């Protein structure tokens, strides 16, 4: 892997054209300024420097993008699945070919460490390949027999859809939504997060170079309450796939209600990692540390609550604290860096605020709890100990490299604390007692659970949360269920009796 100096030079080369061209909207195959001419700056959390001027789209731009997506829909829908598959594989090839550029730009725009962003770019390509291969079967349904009738189901793409993405790992998360939508035969209008709009430009560029017809994927940049809101309210948009905060999800549900929008929400989390004293504690420490301090802790599936059995609580927390203190915080392009700067000063302020909250609530700061350096949004990996479930640091999604450790006595208490949250995205469980694991997974309120594992992903498996963590599932066929309508045709197999009214 290149060192920091080399990566800085490469990033500078990749960013030069963004400085020159800015980040425009991409509508119907062409780059456009916002109709109003308005722009905003995207800045780097590394030093606050301006990376690019971005088109600040609004309702007029969204309307133009929806028109383009509507015009492109019929031809894309009717293209044979194997042809869509071929184009989407070419998109994946294009992502792989430009993975380094994507990773460098993403690191500078978001502050995420290059070691993770390189993998995230490749994951984006895998998402395209996985759904590309499913494109030919997307329309398939079932036949359902009953006496005297045969029902044949099939699926149709729902129409132009809106995809609204957050600022954490934006490239990979966008592909997770856009690839299945395109494979299903939908056209897309994406509204990227205003804090990290840069790699959306690269994705649409790569896609069109790979042969995606103009208008099939459109991008409108801008603010959530403006461009985002207009997208959710537009009658031409049939569904909204949204990844972001839970309270934004509820706003989107309200905004989309007038036009009866179908919604798919991947929202926040306050995920527990539960460690029993019979577990493989070496691996459990590795997983607990990885799942909160990787990706800056700005990760919906991060395990931000550490629930440890009281018999091993002090020792386990000491080990996690020791490891956290040794984690390298630094420039995101340094290949040694684990924790880079947080996305934006606004978010950094929120995270730093929890250090005072923790102290005021009576938790102890075992490590971290401070800002690092004077320039950039750097925060030390932090562990709060002696916490209880009612503290804000145990209840609210901090979305940074900050872990809250709570002791528990037994299985019943572990479940009570784990479920004592409005969220329900993931839960991680460490025990070598198989029957306990089975009992626990029956009762944990989470959409995804991992036993003796960090967040291992399998693209055909369902991804999504319960409670305030989401509505709907991605992955495998579940994604197609969202982007497609299932229709039924009933054929009479006998001359059944029809009431002869008025005969």
**DSSP H or E run through 272:** strand 272-275
Catalytic one of 208, 266, 348, 454 = 266
Question: What is the contact mask toward ligand NAD in residues 193 to 222, using x (rule: CB under 6 A)?
Answer: xx----------------------------
Q: Of 294 and 309, which has the nearer Cβ to ligand NAD?
A: 294
Residues 240, 244, 248, 238, Cα dihedral to 10°:
0
For residue 111, state whether it binds ligand NAD (rule: CB under 6 A).
no
For residue 94, state whether it binds ligand NAD (rule: CB under 6 A).
no
For residue 175, state whether it binds ligand NAD (rule: CB under 6 A).
no
Q: Of 142 and 250, which has the nearer Cβ to ligand NAD?
A: 250
For residue 164, state whether it binds ligand NAD (rule: CB under 6 A).
yes
Minimum distance between the CB of residue 133 and ligand NAD, rounded to whole angstroms?
A: 23
**Of 245, 286, 314, 481, which lies in the binding site for ligand NAD, with binding defined by CB under 6 A?**
245
Minimum distance between the CB of residue 264 and ligand NAD, rounded to whole angstroms?
A: 10
* Contacting ligand NAD within 463-492 (CB under 6 A): 465, 469-470
**Of 64, 267, 363, 415, which lies in the binding site for ligand NAD, with binding defined by CB under 6 A?**
267
Long-range contacts of 312-320 (CB under 8 A, 24+ apart): 312/275, 312/277, 312/281, 313/405, 313/407, 316/275, 316/281, 316/284, 316/285, 317/366, 317/383, 317/385, 317/405, 318/366, 319/281, 319/285, 320/285, 320/288, 320/289, 320/366, 320/383, 320/403, 320/405
**Token pair listed for 78:** 């009717």
Using alpha carbons, list the distances in angstroms from residue 261 to 141, 254, 500: 24, 10, 40
377 is catalytic: no
* Contacting ligand NAD within 281-340 (CB under 6 A): 300
For residue 399, state whether it binds ligand NAD (rule: CB under 6 A).
yes
- C-alpha–C-alpha distance, residues 248 and 245, integer Å: 5
- C-alpha–C-alpha distance, residues 32 and 68, integer Å: 13
445 is catalytic: no
Q: Of 285 and 339, which has the nearer Cβ to ligand NAD?
A: 339
Minimum distance between the CB of residue 40 and ligand NAD, rounded to whole angstroms?
A: 12
> Which residue number has the CB closest to ligand NAD?
224
- C-alpha–C-alpha distance, residues 358 and 368, integer Å: 12
CB neighbours (10 Å) of residue 364?
14
**Token pair listed for 169:** 């790992």
Among residues 186, 220, 216, 182, the alpha carbon closest in space to that of 200 is found at 220
Active site residues: 266, 300
Residues that bind ligand NAD (CB under 6 A): 164-168, 173, 191, 193-194, 224-225, 228-229, 232, 243-245, 248, 251-252, 255, 266-269, 300, 397, 399, 425, 465, 469-470
């Amino acid at each position: 892997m290149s060192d920091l100096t080399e990566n800085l030079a490469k990033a500078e080369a990749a960013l030069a054209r963004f400085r020159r061209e800015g980040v425009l909207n991409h509508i119907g195959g062409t780059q456009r300024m916002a109709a109003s001419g308005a722009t905003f700056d995207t800045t780097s959390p590394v030093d606050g420097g301006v990376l690019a001027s971005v088109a600040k789209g609004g309702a007029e731009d969204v309307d133009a993008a929806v028109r383009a997506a509507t015009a492109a829909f019929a031809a894309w829908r009717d293209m044979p699945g194997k042809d869509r598959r071929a184009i989407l594989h070419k998109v994946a090839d294009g992502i792989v070919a430009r993975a380094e550029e994507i990773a460098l730009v993403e690191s500078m725009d978001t502050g995420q460490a290059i070691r993770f962003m390189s993998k995230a770019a490749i994951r984006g390509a895998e998402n395209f390949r996985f759904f590309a291969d499913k494109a030919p079967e997307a329309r398939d349904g079932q036949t359902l027999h009953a006496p005297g009738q045969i029902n044949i189901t099939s699926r149709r793409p729902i129409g132009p859809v809106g995809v609204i993405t957050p600022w954490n790992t934006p490239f990979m998360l966008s592909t997770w939504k856009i690839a299945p939508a395109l494979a299903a035969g939908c056209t897309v209008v994406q509204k990227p997060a205003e804090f990290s709009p840069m790699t959306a430009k690269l994705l649409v560029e790569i896609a069109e170079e790979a042969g995606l017809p103009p208008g099939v994927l459109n991008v409108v940049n801008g603010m959530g309450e403006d461009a985002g809101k207009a997208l959710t309210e537009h009658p031409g948009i049939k569904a909204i796939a949204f990844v972001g905060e839970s309270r934004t999800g509820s706003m989107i549900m309200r905004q989309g209600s007038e036009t009866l929008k179908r919604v798919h929400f991947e929202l926040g989390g306050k995920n527990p990692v539960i460690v029993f004293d019979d577990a493989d504690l070496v691996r459990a420490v590795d997983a607990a540390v990885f799942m909160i301090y990787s990706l800056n802790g700005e990760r919906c599936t991060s395990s931000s609550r550490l629930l440890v059995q009281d018999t091993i609580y002090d020792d386990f927390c000491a080990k996690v604290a020791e490891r956290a203190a040794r984690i390298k915080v630094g420039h995101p392009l340094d290949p040694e860096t684990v924790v880079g700067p947080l996305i934006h000063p606004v978010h950094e302020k929120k995270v730093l605020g929890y250090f005072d909250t923790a102290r005021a609530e009576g938790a102890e700061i075992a490590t971290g709890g401070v800002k690092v350096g004077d320039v950039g949004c750097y925060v030390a990996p932090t562990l709060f100990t002696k916490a209880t479930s009612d503290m804000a640091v145990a209840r609210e999604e901090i979305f940074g490299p900050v872990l809250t450790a709570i002791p528990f006595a037994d299985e019943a208490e572990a479940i009570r604390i784990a479920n004592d949250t409005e969220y329900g995205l993931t839960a991680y469980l460490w025990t070598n007692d198989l029957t306990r694991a089975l009992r626990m997974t029956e009762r944990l309120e989470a959409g995804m659970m991992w036993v003796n594992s960090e967040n291992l992903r399998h693209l055909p498996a369902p991804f999504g949360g319960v409670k305030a963590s989401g509505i709907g599932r991605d992955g495998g066929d579940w994604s197609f269920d969202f982007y497609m309508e299932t229709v039924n045709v009933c054929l009479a197999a006998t001359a059944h009796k029809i009431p002869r009214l008025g005969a």
